[in-house]
Amino acid sequence: MGKIAEEHPVLEAPTEKVSPFAFTESDEKECKEQKLRDYRQKINAKSIEKQRKGKEHLWDDATSLTLRCMKDVPAEDVMWLWHPYIALGKLTLLEGDPGIGKSWITLAIATAVSLGRGLPGQATGKPHNVMLASAEDGLGDTIRPRLNTMGADVAHVYAIDDAITLNDEGFTRLENSIGQEKPKLLIIDPLVAYLGCGVDIHRANETRSIMARLAKLAENHQLAVLAVRHLTKGGQNKAIYRGIGSIDFTAACRSVLLAGCDAEDQASRALVHIKSNLAPAGPSVGYELRDGGFYWTGESSLTAAQILAADNGAVGSELDEAATFLRDELADGPVPGKDVYRAAESIGISKRTLERAKSQISVITRRMGEKGKRGGGGWTWNLPVDLHRQDGDLNDAGSENDLHRQDRQLRKFGDVNNFEANNLSKPAAPGDVNQASILGMPVDRVIEIWRSKKSPMFALRPGEYCRDLEKLLKNPDCQELHLKAVRAWLDHL
């Protein structure tokens, strides 16, 4: 036995008896770690299994977020009230300066919705109800007459006649009314009037929650919300930053429309699509305010930059610069027109701005060439120096301004289509002015008013002006457009 033990020492019997079930400290630690690993593996397996079954979240805990797997979210088509400008179930913002016609635009859209027709580029559809909140226009003296003028079906238009604020109570009342009347369009004009005095419109954290609730309201009821907002004065050239208040107003809306006019042509107005998240931006849509009504005029070339240029003062300064240039360039006498254009281009004055300045300061153009030869010679430009010799009181700045105003008025009202010829008669013969009548008054009475009101002058021909109406009527060169302009001037007294 001893010999075997020497050859195989591992078989040597232990000196102490040890239980085969005894755990050492390291064994106990390893066992705990193994149990922990098994527990974690079990939890992970459960998590994977729940995810496979489409569970929204792992923990059944009220504090957890609600998650939706995008596999389970069906794709939806965008429905439109007016493609691509106003979507159903979404927010749209209409911006513009006061007096530019924003309220007219909202009522024109409301009219079209009430009739099921009339929006530019939109097919005829079913009439729908409209709900509007207006804080600036009276229901009886402004809104109803405008709707009547545009031919709206007022049975489909509902105006909110209460003072409401977009807080918890206000949203509850608004949603109840929407549930009753089921409008497809909600107009809020202007939006900031309904936010309440405690809301700072320049703080995103205060406006964001209100815009989110409006968006949810639109989504839940599948109606379009059209909110109106005024512009700030200057400062920003990008259109989306020009609205008053926080940029969050713009961010929350899926579409933003800018209403305005051409800085170089105040009569040219349009609705410009400056933000569109749901479809490519639509073309600008022209509109007019005339004869006490609103009229869509079709697609317009007007851009947001042109609309904002006037408010930034850029166009005004360019026009003043061009007028100063012309006075300096023509100070020494007539200059060939092509040389004037060339000199203006060399200092960065555009042809269009130059021609507007030319009209503003009444530059005279004459064709210089050999008589009888077509195309002979060229056009020259000259300052209206003769106006200083027509009357003794024409040297003051006021008289010159009158002349410029009258020239613009002649251009505006000179078209015979703008007047009813049978309401205005020409003199029977030169020198027999008392037989004529203007606006139903004897001419001598018109002459008296004309003189007492320090009337503007007329341009008889380039370089020749007349302020005295009696002389004008006796002048054999007196034209019907002169008399029409007299009538227009009297109408504006």
Got the DSSP string for 103-164? HHHHHHHHHHHHHT--STT--------EEEEESSS-IIIIIHHHHHHHT--GGGEEE--S--
Mean pLDDT for the stretch of residues 455-469: 55
Please, are residues 223 and 88 in contact by the beta-carbon 8 Å criterion? Answer: yes
**What is the rounded end-to-end Cα distance, in angstroms, of the chain?**
142
Q: Model-level pTM greater than 0.85?
A: no
What pLDDT is recorded for position 331?
A: 74
pLDDT band, residue 136 (cuts 50/70/90): confident
Average per-residue pLDDT for the chain = 75
CA dihedral for 25, 27, 30, 34, sign (positive or negative): negative
- With tokens 């697609």, the residue in question is 299
Query: For the chain, what percentages of helix, strand and coil (3-state, to nearest 5) are there?
Result: 45, 20, 40
Beta strands in 28-88 (DSSP E): 80-82, 86-87
Residue 122 CA to residue 83 CA, distance in Å, equals 7
One-letter amino acid of 383:
L
What pLDDT is recorded for position 443?
A: 62
Residue 448 CA to residue 399 CA, distance in Å, equals 19
Q: Which CATH architecture has domain 313-383?
A: Orthogonal Bundle (1.10)
Q: What is the Cβ-side half-sphere exposure of residue 183, based on CA atoms within 13 angstroms?
A: 27
Write out the DSSP string of 295-316.
Answer: EEEEEE---HHHHHHHHHTHHH
Find, among 243, 351, 244, the residue nearest to 304 by Cα.
Answer: 243
Poorest-confidence range of 247-251, 324-328, 334-338, 480-484?
Answer: 480-484
More confident residue, 113 or 252: 113
Which residues lie below 8 Å from residue 100, measured CB to CB, with a gap of 6+? 259, 260, 261, 269
Residue 112 has pLDDT above 70, yes or no: yes
Tokens describing residue 211: 């815009």
Tokens describing residue 485: 């302009």
What pLDDT, in 10s, does the model give residues 292-339?
899 999 999 999 888 887 555 545 567 777 887 887 778 777 888 888
- For residues 404-427, one letter each, b for 16 or more C-beta atoms within 10 angstroms of the residue's C-beta and e for the rest, the string is bebbebbeebbeeeebeeeebeeb
Which CATH superfamily includes the segment(s) 80-312? P-loop containing nucleotide triphosphate hydrolases (3.40.50.300)
What is the location of CATH 1.10.10 in the chain? 313-383
Beta strands in 364-483 (DSSP E): 364-368, 378-382, 437-438, 441-442, 458-461, 464-466
- With tokens 């079906």, the residue in question is 153
Please, are residues 211 and 249 in contact by the beta-carbon 8 Å criterion? Answer: yes
What is the location of CATH 3.40.50.300 in the chain? 80-312
- The pairs formed by 443-447 with CB atoms below 8 angstroms and a separation of 24 or more are 443/469, 443/473, 446/486, 446/490
One-letter amino acid of 257:
L
